């Protein structure tokens, strides 16, 4: 009986939002890990209401960094970018939710931290483009691509946070 009423309450909520659910690949870069900002970053995404489905501390091999940033290969800063991303462990995450990709970009702020608005992660916690603490996917397509690049299938978790019906109607 209890499970029946649970279904009546929870199921429409899950079905309604299923199609709009996106994945964003979020990564605390080596400077963020070294500066002890991992908890701060995770906390901001948790408090916003997104769902964590993947999380690991990881030393990124050069080949993976090159694949991840392949669109920037022609840029003058590309070699230093690869050195930076592979210079120490990163924290790889996948956050899920309706509109998570664009919202994460807003939470993160502009690429250049000096231009990032106060209240954003880069605006509050960083000063230089070459040490801007965090990565976030720039489109839902790249969210999927980057998730597949950084995580194996078995590393992701499907789950329903207890707060789900209190977060969305």
Which are the catalytic amino acids? 135
Stretch that binds ligand ADP, among 1-9, 32-40, 89-97, 126-134 (CB under 6 A): 126-134
Inter-residue contact 96 to 167 (CB < 8 Å): no
Distance CA 5, CA 139 (A): 37
Q: Between 51 and 135, name the residue whose CB sits nearer to ligand ADP.
A: 135
- Is 26 one of the binding residues for ligand ADP (CB under 6 A)? no
Helix axes 38-48, 100-108, angle to 10 degrees: 130
* Residues 75 to 114 in contact with ligand ADP, rule: CB under 6 A: 77, 81, 111
Which residues carry a binding-site annotation? Answer: 29, 77, 105, 111, 122, 132
Distance CA 122, CA 133 (A): 7
Helix (H) or strand (E) holding 131: none
Q: Between 13 and 105, name the residue whose CB sits nearer to ligand ADP.
A: 105
- Is 124 one of the binding residues for ligand ADP (CB under 6 A)? no
Distance CA 95, CA 156 (A): 10
Helix (H) or strand (E) holding 139: none
- CB of residue 47 vs ligand ADP: minimum separation in angstroms? 22
- DSSP-derived 3-state class of residue 76: coil
- CB of residue 79 vs ligand ADP: minimum separation in angstroms? 11
- CB of residue 148 vs ligand ADP: minimum separation in angstroms? 18
Where do contacts with ligand ADP occur on this chain (CB under 6 A)? 77, 81, 111, 129-130, 132, 135, 138
């Amino acid at each position: 009986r209890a499970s029946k009423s649970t279904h009546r309450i929870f199921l429409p909520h899950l079905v309604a939002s299923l199609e709009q659910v996106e994945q964003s690949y979020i990564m605390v870069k080596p400077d963020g890990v070294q500066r002890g900002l991992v908890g701060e970053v995770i906390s901001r995404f948790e408090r916003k209401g997104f769902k964590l489905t993947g999380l690991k501390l990881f030393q990124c091999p050069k080949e993976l960094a090159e694949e991840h940033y392949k669109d920037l290969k022609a840029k003058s800063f590309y070699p230093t970018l690869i050195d930076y991303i592979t210079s120490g462990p990163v924290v790889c995450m996948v956050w899920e939710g309706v509109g998570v990709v664009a919202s994460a970009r807003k939470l993160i702020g502009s690429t250049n931290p000096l231009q990032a608005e106060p209240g954003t992660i880069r605006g509050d916690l960083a000063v230089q483009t070459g040490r801007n603490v965090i990565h976030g996917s720039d489109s839902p397509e790249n969210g999927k691509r980057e998730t597949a690049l950084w995580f194996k299938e078995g590393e992701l978790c499907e789950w329903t946070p207890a707060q789900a019906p209190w977060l969305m109607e």
